[in-house]
């Protein structure tokens, strides 16, 4: 074999070794759907039809394999059992692949992606959620661009050869967001997601620009640990002018209730009515954990600022700082599932960030 041939074979071998392997997990959503031309309705495509719409997926320098859920579902039907399936699919294939892309409907993507960020402890490989506003088969669809760039993001490595973004993220339109900071903001535009209290981790233009200083990197050599027990004994209680005692008590007296996301005004304020204070205090004394989350998309809870918020503190309500509702709810569900009966531990873990989901300002208690 002449020397040139040897060099070429080595190059081919090296390329093959260096080729990143990405598992694309299909759960459903618009991105996996095609239109039935007779009825006009959208329905999930089978995997071969889906692959035929995005042949580029298999033509690049990334080795892509697909794992479809059966059946594919609209994300309005997503339940914690599906989160467990997604987390298990990542864990079972963790050694075999360099990264994961999860195709998911946009409607509840930020719930699923937030849940996985808490369920996959010590994650050291990228898990990128994406979807689309228009079905994959439609000419103007955003499906192809979102999927191909999500694969590229999942395969990206830094100059030490380590995964560039070893976090659970959402890629949409041109931005990569930390999953537990993102929320769906638009049902119409292609720019469907935003992360109001934390900058995007990467921007895709002509080049993809990663913001390495904003990305979380795991401690070296920690094994992936999955939290697969999810507890659904939680509720969201959104305050509004005129809310009455019956409604508040109906929520707080729900049988088996363990945690409440209390959606308050502005920097975490609530009406000063005595009955409200009393109902909340009685609930926290019964061991229900109530976390204050502002209804504003941007900014943080600050329970020290106004008298009306101090009442909440006195009632035993804890601060959710600048967390999203999706992150707070799924964090509670994971913690209540993982540490049943350990109220103090859960309260502590809810008041600190455990995977980048909130910024705690020590001056704001």
Cβ distance to ligand ASP smaller for residue 107 or 167: 107
Q: Which of residues 309-348 bind ligand ASP (CB under 6 A)?
A: none
Nearest residue to ligand ASP, using CB?
A: 105
Is 68 a binder of ligand ASP (CB under 6 A)?
A: no
Q: Which of 80, 99, 105, 163 lies at the binding interface for ligand ASP (CB under 6 A)?
A: 105
Q: Which of 30, 114, 267, 284 lies at the binding interface for ligand ASP (CB under 6 A)?
A: 30
Question: How many Cβ atoms sit within 10 Å of the Cβ of residue 37?
Answer: 6
All residues at 6 or more sequence positions from 241 whose CB lies less than 8 Å from its CB, including other chains: 271
Pick the catalytic residue from 27, 30, 183, 330: 30
Helix-then-strand count for the chain, H and E: 10, 18
Is 106 a binder of ligand ASP (CB under 6 A)?
A: yes
Q: Which of 80, 99, 126, 131 lies at the binding interface for ligand ASP (CB under 6 A)?
A: 131
Which region, judged by CB under 6 A, interacts with ligand ASP, from 104-112, 171-179, 254-262, 331-339? 104-112
Strand pairing category for 234-238 and 259-264: parallel
Is 173 a binder of ligand ASP (CB under 6 A)?
A: no
Strands (E), 201-241: 202-204, 208-210, 225-226, 234-238
Is the CB of residue 65 less than 8 Å from the CB of residue 24? yes
What is the C-alpha to C-alpha distance for residues 77 and 87, in angstroms, rounded to an integer?
17
Is 302 a binder of ligand ASP (CB under 6 A)?
A: no
Which region, judged by CB under 6 A, interacts with ligand ASP, from 5-13, 99-107, 165-173, 315-323? 99-107
Tokens of 347: 């309260």
What is the C-alpha to C-alpha distance for residues 75 and 126, in angstroms, rounded to an integer?
22
What is the C-alpha to C-alpha distance for residues 202 and 43, in angstroms, rounded to an integer?
32
Q: Which of 20, 53, 74, 326 lies at the binding interface for ligand ASP (CB under 6 A)?
A: 74
Catalytic residue status for 39: no
Catalytic annotation, residues: 30
Given the rule CB under 6 A, which residues bind ligand ASP?
28-30, 74-76, 105-107, 131, 133
């Amino acid at each position: 074999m002449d020397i040139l041939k040897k060099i070429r074979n080595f190059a081919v071998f090296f390329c093959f070794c260096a080729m990143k392997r990405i598992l694309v997990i299909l759960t459903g959503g618009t991105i996996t759907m095609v239109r039935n031309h007779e009825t006009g309705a959208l329905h999930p495509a089978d995997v071969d039809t889906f692959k035929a719409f995005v042949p580029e997926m298999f033509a690049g320098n990334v080795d892509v394999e697909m794992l479809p859920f059966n059946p594919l579902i609209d994300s309005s039907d997503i339940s914690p059992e599906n989160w467990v399936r997604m987390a298990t699919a990542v864990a079972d294939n963790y050694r075999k692949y360099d990264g994961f892309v999860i195709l998911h409907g946009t409607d509840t993507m930020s719930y699923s992606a937030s849940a996985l960020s808490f369920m996959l402890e010590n994650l050291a490989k990228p898990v990128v959620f994406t979807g689309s506003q228009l079905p994959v088969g439609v000419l103007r669809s955003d499906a192809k661009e979102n999927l191909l760039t999500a694969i590229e993001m999942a395969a990206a490595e830094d100059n030490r050869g380590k995964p560039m973004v070893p976090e659970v993220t959402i890629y949409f339109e041109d931005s990569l967001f930390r999953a537990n900071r993102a929320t769906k903001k638009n049902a119409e535009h292609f720019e469907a997601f935003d992360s109001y209290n934390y900058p995007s981790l990467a921007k895709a233009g002509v080049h993809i620009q990663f913001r390495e200083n904003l990305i979380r990197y795991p401690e070296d050599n920690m094994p992936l640990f999955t939290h697969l027990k999810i507890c659904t004994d939680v509720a969201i209680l959104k305050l509004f002018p005129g809310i009455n005692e019956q409604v508040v008590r109906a929520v707080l007296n729900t049988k088996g209730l363990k945690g409440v996301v209390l959606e308050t005004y502005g920097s975490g304020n609530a009406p000063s009515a005595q009955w409200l204070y009393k109902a909340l205090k009685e609930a926290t004394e019964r061991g229900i954990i109530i976390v204050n989350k502002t209804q504003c998309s941007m900014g943080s809870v600050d329970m020290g600022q106004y008298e009306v918020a101090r009442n909440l503190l006195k009632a035993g309500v804890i601060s959710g700082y600048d967390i999203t509702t999706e992150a707070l709810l799924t964090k509670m569900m994971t913690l209540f599932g993982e540490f049943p009966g350990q109220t103090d531990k859960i309260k502590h873990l809810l008041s600190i960030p455990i995977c980048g989901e909130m910024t705690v300002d020590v001056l704001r208690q």
